[in-house]
Amino acid sequence: MDNLTYITGNYGKYVSVKEKFEKEGININYYKCDLDEPDVNDIEFISKEKARQAFAILQSPVFVADSGFYIDNYPNNPGYPGAFVKRTGISSNIDLLLDNMKDIVERSCYFLDCLTFFDGEEYYQFLGISRGSLANELRGHENKKAKSNLWYVFIPDNCTKTLAEMTDEERENRPDNRISATDKFIKWYKDDYKKTKLLIRTI
């Protein structure tokens, strides 16, 4: 039995990855907790610090996943909001975001994800990226798997729908050449980490 817990205050994040783990025969637990974020615009640093806090709470292997959102041509602040999605409140005020971007023609943006696993001895980090463009308006229906309201305005590359407009199948198989931090972690955890730990226990 896996003793692996995903700590997040966002239940949608847990729902969105739970099925992926189950398909690979990996059981994950969910623990709701909002962790403190360092005031640094560095998604890897933030994720590592939150994994440290998470382990201190549960004293068992944990992982956390954080996302930065980067708008290449945000007015007077390229790359905004970066790792500060939560503290800027950008995802809870999409109307303001769209208003600030209304005169911007080139609307490229991307999600940068960092998943950090900490087993009490070592930190392991996995990065993922999904590129696309910002829609001109909110599009899509309420979805319990939505990690943030940015799903309603983010159109992945080579797609015409926002993440929130897509079905689960469309979202999973979208042709945007994204790199999934969660998929990378699952493969490593199953193929490398678990086998190494099993080998150590049998020596």
pLDDT, one tens digit per residue, over 5-23 is 999 988 888 888 898 999 9
Give pLDDT, residue 202. 42
* Distance (Å, whole) CA 200 – CA 130: 36
Residue 119 has pLDDT above 80, yes or no: yes
pLDDT tier, 184 (very low <50, low <70, confident <90, very high otherwise): very high
On whether the CB atoms of residues 187 and 195 are closer than 8 A, the answer is no
- Residue 170: the pLDDT is 94
pTM for this model (two decimals)? 0.87
Q: What is the CATH number of the domain that holds 86?
A: 3.90.950.10
Domain count, the chain: 1
Q: How confident is the model at residue 1 (pLDDT cuts 50, 70, 90)?
A: low
Angle subtended by helix axes 181-188 and 11-23, to nearest 10: 40
Q: Residue 94 sits in which domain range?
A: 5-202
Query: In the predicted model, what is the mean pLDDT of the chain?
Result: 91
How much of the chain exceeds pLDDT 70, in percent?
Answer: 96
* Separation between Cα atoms, residue 48 and residue 58, nearest integer Å: 16
